[in-house]
Structures are given as C-alpha cells and as structure tokens.
Amino acid sequence: VSDTHNMEMPNLPQEAPNNSPPVSLCSRDLLCWSFQIARAMDYLQARKVLHGDLAARNVLLSENNVVKISDFGMAKDMYKNDLYQKKSNTPMPVKWMSVEALQDGIFSTQSDIWAFGVVLWEIFTLGRSPFHGLEVDEHFLQKLQNGLRLEKPKYAIKSIYDIMKNCWALEPTERPSFIELEQNIGKILNAVDKQFFDEHQEAELDPEPVPEYLNMVCSP
C-alpha cells in the first residue's frame, strides 16, 4: 500500500470557470471509485442484470465522490438464462470485451467482470485508452487468447494489478465474483486508511515540522 499511498497524482484539467483550482487526486480516490463500482456491479448481479458495456466512459462521478454507473443501453435481464448471446451486428466495445464475448458473442456476469478489470486499468492510468496504439483487427482475439493483457498502470500497486489480471482470466469461471472484488478492494482501501491514521497519530506526537498531510490524503 505504501507504494502509492502518498504518491502525488498529476492535476486533472478543470472545466469550471472563474479560475477555480485544479482537481487533485490521491490513491484513496482511485480505490474509493473502484470499490463503489464493484459494489454497484454486485448489486446488478444480485438482481440478474447484465450491463454489457461497463467502461469508464459510462461511470459518472457525482457530489461527495459518489460513483454512479450509467448507460444501460446494452443491459440485459438474466432471469431466464445466465448467458446472453448477441446476434445483431451493432458496434461493440471490443477493447472492453472478454475472450468469449469476442469469440462467440456470449455475454454474462463473467464478461462484465472482464470489463471491470479494464475499468480498473482506466482508473489507475488516470483515463488512458486501453490498448492504445494497438490495431484492433481480426488478430486481436488471438492475441488475447495467447496471453496479451494490459500492462501494470503507473499508479496501481501490485495487489490492484493482480485483481485486474484475475478479472482477465481466460476461463470465465476462474474470474472473481463482484462480491469478492468488492471485498478485496475494500481491504486495500481499509489498509490505506489505517496507514494514514497511524502516520497522522505519529505526526501529532512529533514536535518537529511535518508535511502537510491534507495534500497527501483526501478527506472521506
């Protein structure tokens, strides 16, 4: 956790007028968003809803750092069957799609989990495009089957990247469930909070000048 706990993220562009200050991010923000998305997807899974187009572009950030999932245009009711086979020729979000979805048009909760791994990658690269510079052609599926995966993001610690790779398991049944993802990310988030609490306690007891911790860790 310490690898990125105090890592300073670059400021994001600010669209607000009147010379408002730039938006600052910390690792806790990224973990908090990831945790909320996993929890929201677990909610959908429990209600037999397949999203089908989970991507960062379909995740909204509202007040108080609350994340909301949007764009249910491809969502399907899974009460009758846990699998959905696409039969139309509508454009698909190829870079977010699982191997089985690309190969057979089969969508399921497990394909949503694959997409969640890509969303994590988007979050921890601060919005980079997945597989940027790689041509998505008829050989793309074969490359995934042969082990091609997105590289470890700069702002992701090993445990987060391990979660991403687990989401991209070739066999759908080997991927974690959303409840497991929620729990695992929650543990990392709790560790970050605990580390800050411990450091903050030490700072209060230290008579020497200390860094401004509010610049390092975001408020809840």
Is residue 53 annotated as part of the catalytic site, yes or no?
yes
- Are 68 and 56 spatial neighbours (Cβ–Cβ below 8 Å)? no
- Are 163 and 12 spatial neighbours (Cβ–Cβ below 8 Å)? no
The rounded distance, in Å, linking the Cα atoms of 108 and 11 is 37
Structure token digits, residue 183: 């729990």
Which one-letter DSSP state was computed for residue 23?
B
Flag the least confident range among 104-108, 123-127, 183-187, 194-198. 194-198
Active-site choice (29, 53, 82, 206) = 53
Q: Is residue 1 part of a domain?
A: no
Give pLDDT, residue 18.
55
Question: N- to C-terminal Cα distance for the chain?
Answer: 18
Which three-class secondary structure state does DSSP give residue 85?
strand
% of the chain exceeding 70 in pLDDT: 69
Domain count, the chain: 1
Q: Is residue 175 part of a domain?
A: yes
Q: Is residue 212 part of a domain?
A: no
Positive/negative CA dihedral, 116, 119, 124, 125: positive
Domain span at 177 = 23-76+95-201
Q: Is residue 28 part of a domain?
A: yes
- pLDDT at 99 exceeding the cut of 50: yes
Q: Is residue 88 part of a domain?
A: no
The H or E element containing residue 36 is helix 27-46
Q: What is the pTM of this model?
A: 0.77
What's the residue count for the chain? 220
Q: What is the pLDDT of residues 20-65, one digit of tens each?
A: 556 678 899 999 999 999 999 999 989 888 888 999 999 999 888 8
Q: Tell me what percent of the chain is helix, strand and coil, each rounded to the nearest 5.
A: 50, 5, 45
Q: What is the pLDDT of residues 66-84, one digit of tens each?
A: 999 987 655 454 444 444 4
Flag the least confident range among 112-116, 165-169, 215-219. 215-219
Q: Is residue 83 part of a domain?
A: no
Q: Please provide residue 158's backbone torsions phi and psi, each rounded to the nearest 5 degrees.
A: -60, -40
Give pLDDT, residue 200.
58
Give pLDDT, residue 194.
75
Q: Is residue 152 part of a domain?
A: yes
Q: Is residue 89 part of a domain?
A: no
Flag the least confident range among 67-81, 171-185, 197-211. 197-211
- pLDDT at 126 exceeding the cut of 90: yes
CATH assignment of the domain containing 165: 1.10.510.10
